[in-house]
Amino acid sequence: MGDDLYGHEPLITELQRLRVRFGLVAKPSSPPALFAQGAEREQRWEGEHGTWTEGTGPRRRMCTYRTAAELALTRSGAVRVNSLAVWEQRPEGTGGSHNSWVTDFNVTLETVAAMVGIGRSRWKIETEQFNVQNNQGDELEHH
């Protein structure tokens, strides 16, 4: 798993060459060609769409996802990836988030929740480490 900074053609090419499985954050500003293809496929209702609910009480949230397989990461088309986009929303309409990843894993109804869990774990570890460093006097804005 890695942040958006790693979701570029040279690194993914190397990961594929080494047969290293990956799941990397993808923001719309980084690979715009990828998101344009995803939007085109969504208009044609290609890929998988679905929802699931998790948590209880005030921690309950509804997750909506969209997947697309074999998208070109950039306009060159040299690197192909699968994508997963997830939107979370609380029942009362407050809060919510949107996350996207590119991966070489097959993203299916059975694997979506696991992929989201892996992405959250990476974020949680990173955030907790930043909080420890900031609260112990490092006084850094971002590590």
Cα 55 from Cα 60, distance rounded (Å): 4
**Is residue 143, in this structure, part of any structural domain at all?**
no
Question: pLDDT tens-digit profile of 60-94?
Answer: 888 888 899 999 988 888 899 999 988 888 777 66
Question: pLDDT tens-digit profile of 36-65?
Answer: 888 888 888 788 888 888 888 777 888 888
State percent of the chain over pLDDT 90: 17
Element (H, E) at 81: strand 80-89
**Is residue 27, in this structure, part of any structural domain at all?**
yes
What band does 143 get if pLDDT is binned at 50, 70 and 90?
very low
Considering Cα of 62, then 67, then 73, then 76, what sign does the dihedral take? negative
Residues 6 or more apart whose CB falls under 8 angstroms from that of 19 comprise: none
Q: What confidence score (pLDDT) does residue 29 get?
A: 79
**Is residue 95, in this structure, part of any structural domain at all?**
yes
Per the structure, how many domains does the chain have? 1
**Is residue 54, in this structure, part of any structural domain at all?**
yes
User: Which CATH number fits the domain that encloses residue 51?
Assistant: 3.90.350.10
The pLDDT of 30-41, averaged and rounded, is 83
**Is residue 69, in this structure, part of any structural domain at all?**
yes
Q: What confidence score (pLDDT) does residue 22 get?
A: 92
Residues 6 or more apart whose CB falls under 8 angstroms from that of 41 comprise: 47, 68, 71
Range(s) of the domain holding residue 75: 4-138
**Is residue 65, in this structure, part of any structural domain at all?**
yes
Of residues 50 and 18, more confidently modeled: 18
Helix-strand-coil split of the chain, %, nearest 5:
40, 25, 30
**Is residue 9, in this structure, part of any structural domain at all?**
yes
